[in-house]
Amino acid sequence: AQSVTQLDSQVPVFEEAPVELRCNYSSSVSVYLFWYVQYPNQGLQLLLKYLSGSTLVKGINGFEAEFNKSQTSFHLRKPSVHISDTAEYFCAVIRGGYSTLTFGKGTMLLVSP
């Protein structure tokens, strides 16, 4: 079975500061990894995904993530956050024979002026 652990439920940060949202996964087989963002009372939007190849993945809105197989991690980073980045972020892993995602419990990113 696969599981996803997001180590922080909330991350407060000041505007223009860098941020890292942590995600660890457990799986005995190769995985596909995703980061989604959710703004209040809305659905989820894909930020980026890792399928294979380069371990550094760039996504939308200036976000990037690094796949680390030895540490089973897929941390999300942004060098300088904006107020508009305030949202909940979910790490997810593909499981099974189809695209059934297993999600972490989410990290709320709170950006203040």
Q: Kindly determine how many residues on this chain lie close enough to bind other proteins according to the rule CB under 8 A.
A: 24
Span from 12-20, 30-38, 63-71, 73-81 in contact with other proteins (CB under 8 A): 30-38
Provide the minimum distance between the beta carbon of 2 and other proteins in the complex, in angstroms, as a whole number: 12
CA 69 to CA 48: how far, in whole Å?
17
> Taking CB under 8 A as the criterion, which residues in 47-76 touch other proteins?
49, 51
Query: Tokens 């505007």 — which residue?
Result: 15
Is 36 or 75 the residue whose CB approaches other proteins more closely?
36
- Check binding of 40 to other proteins (CB under 8 A): no
- Neighbour tally for 89: CB within 10 Å: 24
Q: Kindly write down the DSSP assignment for every residue of 34-84, as one continuous string.
A: EEEEE-TTS-EEEEEEE-SS-SEEE-GGG-EEEEETTTTEEEEEESS--GG
Angle at 63 between CA 61 and CA 68, to 5 degrees: 160
Nearer CB in complex with other proteins: 15/61 = 61
Residue from 26, 45, 55, 84 touching other proteins (CB under 8 A): that is 45
Residues contributing to the site for other proteins (CB under 8 A): 9, 32, 34, 36, 41-46, 49, 51, 90, 94, 97-106
